Structure 1
Amino acid sequence: MRVDGATVGLKDERDEPGWEVDPDDDWGVAVVATVGRQLKLRREAAGMRAAEFGAAVGYGEDLVYKIEGGKRIPRPEYLDKADEVLRAGGLLSAMKEDVKRVRYPKKVRDLAKLEAQAVEIGVYACHSISGLLQTSEHARTLIEAAQPPYSQDEVERMVAARMARRSVYERDPAPALSFVLEVAPLRRPLGGTMVWRQQLERLLEVGRMRNVTLQVMPTHCEVHSGLDGKIELLKFADGTAVGRSDGAFNGRPVSDLRQLRILELRYGTIRAQALPPRESLAFIEQLLGET
């Protein structure tokens, strides 16, 4: 709709940060270009101009052209509305699954794929709270603190990607998850008091799940096996595993049995040195009470 020569009520790029296509993600670029081409062919076959179609789906003409040109990732609701307006019989809505796979950066997609297949996940995090445990506002504060700073589009995309990984908690059967966190990140009020409180509440919520073991490494433990940095271990139903540690094997993911045994030994030692789960949750409750 236009009022005094200006478009009113139609979404533009400022309304949808974080939906740019990653030019370095070849597969993602190809998928989004294919979806955009199909949208354009359907629109033209229906005899609708871009501005007319945009008004019907609630998007500005420029954004319609960018989606059709493979420059922007269409939101799921955009595809649903386009399917309805163009009477595609569900064919455009069905593309949501393809688009969903390329919504997030390739590195995050690869990690999320492994997490979705793992039957056991173990994480030791020392400098920050594990991404699988973060609230959206906590994650946003961390990402926005990076130097050089990310663009707002990149921030929103990375936050959304991190939150999407939380689907691991919804799996059935549920994987066994264990986390060991250092005290310092738990005490750091990132984002202010309310964001900090919400993060502590989220830790308590996850820590009480039956398939989750959450432990805190006390500061009075002078030396332990995780001082070199983060450790991640993922085990799969076929008996294989993947691990990574900041302080081992140049930080690369490893699947060699000998290297995995080293990471498992370090992680097992860390868990033994940390507070038991019940005491860990009590400690987090105490921190929450102090905020």
Structure 2
Amino acid sequence: MSVDGGAQRLKTEADEPGWEVDPDDDWGVAVVATVGRQLRLRREAVGMRAAELGAATGYGEDLIYKIESGKRIPRPEFLDKADEVLGARGLLSAMKEDVAKVRYPKKVRDLADVEAKAVEIGAYVCNSISGLLQTPEHARAAFESRQPPYPQAEVERLVAARVARQSVFERDPAPSLGFVLEEALLRRPLGGTMVWRGQLERLLEVGRLRNVTLQVMPTHVEVHPGLDGKIELLKFVDGTATGRSDGAFNGRPVTDPRQVHILELRYGTIRAQALPPRESLAFIEQLLGET
């Protein structure tokens, strides 16, 4: 890629919505402020003006000032380029991981941190495809359907955060993952035919992984313990566990072994009533063929 082409790509990415700093996220504000301060100190140390740094990285002068003042989240590619241009010897590039997390809402970061530590995750979902299973296109359609509408910048933040959580599939050793989805969810073509085909294909891809169990709850099952809402269970290497259910304990996360055991019983019953994994994948394949 040419220098001009790379600069143009960086500028296009920099102008994307969803890179504003959430003023209510104290940790995120602190991280971006620290990065901005280091960027300004390095720039001034080498005697470079903001406009010159912008020209070298493909960012506008005003955007450089926004980053330095902690009002804009820099993209990882920008930090790499700025590190190279300013001779920071990895100081700016080293901040990429924390900066990338800032873009995601705090509650999503907290959830991702817990999921990253779990050795076993089980989820029954009744109203939507589990966020860990959604394609970016499906997630975007879901967020854009909310009322009142989210600003487009917020939609992009939420989609990026949801996709980032799916790094759980890349862990080694891989955790044990189990999902039970309602049949009705698999018949609603959210986002249109092509988006929905992509989502069904993603379910089949994930469902065939050795560490994943994917099941479908048939609509003809009249009664099961998940009618009050979704159930989530996470177990950790030290033997502890946490869980949450819309229909139990006021929807709050619980860690007390007795309360977790109640959710385990409910989830276990749901799995027993759902289609077995092989039949579930065959059912999704059939839906895909009909789409």
TM-score by length of 1: 0.95
1:81 aligned partner? 81
Distance 2:36 2:210 in 1: 43
Q: SS where residue 172 of structure 1 aligns?
A: coil
Unmatched segments (≥5 aa) in structure 2: 1-7
1:25 aligned partner? 25
| Matched ranges for 1:1-291 at <5 A | 11=11, 15-291=15-291
Distance 1:265 1:281 in 2: 24
Confirm or deny: 8 A CA contact 1:12 1:60 kept in the other structure. no
Q: Which residue type is aligned with residue 79 of structure 2?
A: L
Distance 2:56 2:9 in 1: 11
Deviations 1:40-63 (A, max 9, x none): 111111111111110110001111
Q: Which residue type is aligned with residue 185 of structure 1?
A: L
Confirm or deny: 8 A CA contact 1:243 1:260 kept in the other structure. yes
Distance 1:65 1:13 in 2: 17
Confirm or deny: 8 A CA contact 1:10 1:55 kept in the other structure. no
Aligned length: 284
Distance 1:64 1:145 in 2: 34
Deviations 1:238-291 (A, max 9, x none): 011110011111111110111111111100000000000000000000000001
Q: Which residue type is aligned with residue 188 of structure 1?
A: R
Instruction: State, as a whole percentage, how many aligned pairs show the same letter.
Output: 83
TM-score by length of 2: 0.95
Q: Which residue type is aligned with residue 130 of structure 2?
A: S
Q: Using the TM superposition, name which of 192-201 and 57-66 deviates more.
A: 57-66
Deviations 1:123-173 (A, max 9, x none): 000011000000000000001111111111111110000000111001111
Distance 2:32 2:202 in 1: 34
Unmatched segments (≥5 aa) in structure 1: 1-7
Q: Using the TM superposition, name which of 83-92 and 123-132 deviates more.
A: 83-92
Inter-CA distance 219–33: structure 2 relative to 1 (3 Å threshold):
same
Distance 1:135 1:66 in 2: 32
Q: SS where residue 227 of structure 1 aligns?
A: coil
Distance 2:199 2:250 in 1: 31
Distance 2:171 2:91 in 1: 28
Q: CA RMSD in A?
A: 1.3
Confirm or deny: 8 A CA contact 2:115 2:168 kept in the other structure. yes
Distance 2:189 2:12 in 1: 34
Distance 1:101 1:165 in 2: 11
Confirm or deny: 8 A CA contact 2:10 2:78 kept in the other structure. no
Confirm or deny: 8 A CA contact 1:179 1:214 kept in the other structure. yes
Distance 1:260 1:253 in 2: 9
Q: Which residue type is aligned with residue 258 of structure 1?
A: R
Distance 1:83 1:200 in 2: 42
